[in-house]
């Protein structure tokens, strides 16, 4: 069940491969438009994947329901749309049988980016986005981008969350590259707080150890020193005492992007980004990128200006 154009997947452009989860819904169309524009800008290829869960389709609509034909028709429509929108972008359109999470995780192996959409509007406190984006973000080998509905960019800034973990270093490296393409500045945010179990001591007036505060202040500069591309980038360090998810959501509202790691294992706030990535995906203040640990922190980022120079 695989449809291909442009010579299939043998030749991957320098911008890598962007996998897009597509199911014909309005949120999938928005994700597809977003990914196509990114592929044009960054010289990437598109791999548009429609997951076909035949067992679920039969359970809901009966054994005669032809979910495969429906998927192929939706992919054909997507193919025509992408070719009209981005005719120079190499694109593959294919259906894969199985649950969406399993199909997209398999398709994203070796990809630069996995993109999914949601009907949730940026900053909306209403309906939750469902389990798929979070499942993909926690298990994918590549960075996952979750695109909300209606996320106007009010400030050309990329916000990145840090907690001192290896995963947050990957987030910084990705944020630096993203900001280079967008000609944006970076807000590097480290939010900290005293564990709740010690709140009684704070209420009694016991001060926080200055050495602990010094370690808190070192999280951002220590992280930036380990990421090659961060040298010379326009980065504003932001250290706040607040709930980490709340601080990132507030800072990223109206931003061009928010970048977080998959989970935190820092000694100061072990496990922070695990819960933070989940919380920001539920709030979605802007397009959110969740980066896995393997993102190359030692690679100098390619910017839009450098790509133009190569041409």
Q: What backbone torsions phi and psi does residue 175 show, to the nearest 5 degrees?
A: -60, -40
- Cα–chain-centroid distance for residue 64? 38
Q: Which two tokens stand for residue 12?
A: 């991957």
Euclidean distance between the first and final Cα of the chain, in Å?
37
Distance CA 188, CA 230 (A): 11
Instruction: State the architecture of 14-117 in CATH terms.
Output: 3-Layer(aba) Sandwich (3.40)
Cα 32 to chain centroid distance, Å, stands at 15
* β-bridge partners, 95: 50
Residue partners of 273: CB distance under 8 A and separation at least 6: 161, 163, 165, 167, 168, 171, 244, 260, 261, 262, 263, 264
d(CA 20, CA 23): 10
**Has residue 4 got a pLDDT over 50?**
no
Residue 186 has pLDDT above 70, yes or no: yes
Q: State residue 232's pLDDT score.
A: 86
Tokens standing for 284? 């979605």
Q: Poorest-confidence range of 11-15, 140-144, 246-250? A: 11-15
Phi then psi dihedrals of residue 134, to 5 deg: -65, -40
Intrachain domains 14-117 and 154-299 with the same fold: yes
Spatial distance between the Cα atoms of 275 and 261, rounded to a whole number of angstroms: 11
Question: How far apart are the C-alpha atoms of 216 and 203, rounded to whole Å?
Answer: 21
Q: In the chain, pLDDT over 90 holds for what percent of residues?
A: 52
Q: Which of 58-62, 104-108, 154-158, 206-210 has the lowest mean pLDDT?
A: 58-62
Q: What's the pLDDT at 268?
A: 43
Per-residue pLDDT tens over the stretch 82-134: 999 999 999 999 999 889 999 999 999 999 999 999 865 555 554 455 678 88
SS3 content of the chain, % helix, strand, coil (to 5): 45, 25, 35
| Number of Cβ atoms within 10 Å of the Cβ of 5 | 13
CATH of range 154-299; options 3.40.50.300, 3.40.50.20, 3.40.50.620, 3.40.50.10260: 3.40.50.620
Backbone angles phi, psi at 141, to 5 degrees: -80, -20
d(CA 219, CA 107) in angstroms, rounded, equals 35
HEC readout, 40-102: HHHCCEEEEEEEECHHHHHHHHCCCCCHHHHHHHHHHHHHHHHHHHCCCCCEEEEEEECCHHH
Contact at 8 Å (CB) between 166 and 138?
Answer: no
Residue 180: what pLDDT?
94
For the chain, what are the domain ranges? 14-117, 154-299
Each residue of 238-274: pLDDT tens digit? 999 999 999 999 999 999 999 999 864 444 443 333 7
CA distance 112 to 118: 20
This prediction has a pTM of 0.85
Helical axes 166-182 vs 272-283, angle rounded to 10°: 40
């Amino acid at each position: 069940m695989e449809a291909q154009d442009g010579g299939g997947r043998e030749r991957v452009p320098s911008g890598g491969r962007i996998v897009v989860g597509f199911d014909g819904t309005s949120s999938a169309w928005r994700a597809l438009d977003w990914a196509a524009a990114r592929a044009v800008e960054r010289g990437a290829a598109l791999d548009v994947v429609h997951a076909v869960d035949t067992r679920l389709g039969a359970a809901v609509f009966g054994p005669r329901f032809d979910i495969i034909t429906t998927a192929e028709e939706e992919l054909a429509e997507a193919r025509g749309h992408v070719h009209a929108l981005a005719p120079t972008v190499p694109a593959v359109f294919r259906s894969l049988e199985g649950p969406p999470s399993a199909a997209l995780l398999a398709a994203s192996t070796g990809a630069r980016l996995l993109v999914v959409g949601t009907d949730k509007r940026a900053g909306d406190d209403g309906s939750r986005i469902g389990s798929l984006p979070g499942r993909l973000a926690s298990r994918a080998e590549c960075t996952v981008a979750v695109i909300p509905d209606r996320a106007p960019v009010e400030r050309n800034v990329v916000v990145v969350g840090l907690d001192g973990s290896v995963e947050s270093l990957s987030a910084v490296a990705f944020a630096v590259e993203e900001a280079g393409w967008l000609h944006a500045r970076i807000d590097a945010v480290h939010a900290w707080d005293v564990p709740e179990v010690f709140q009684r001591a704070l209420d009694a007036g016991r001060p926080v150890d200055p050495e602990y505060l010094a370690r808190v202040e070192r999280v951002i500069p220590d992280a930036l020193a380990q990421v090659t591309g961060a040298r010379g980038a326009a980065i504003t360090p932001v250290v706040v005492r607040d709930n980490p998810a709340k601080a990132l959501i507030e800072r990223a509202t109206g931003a061009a992007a928010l970048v977080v790691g998959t989970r935190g294992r820092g000694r100061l706030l072990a496990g922070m980004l695990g819960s933070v990535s989940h919380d920001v995906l539920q709030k979605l203040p802007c397009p959110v990128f969740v980066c896995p640990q393997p993102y190359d922190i030692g690679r100098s980022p390619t910017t839009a200006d450098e790509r133009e120079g190569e041409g």
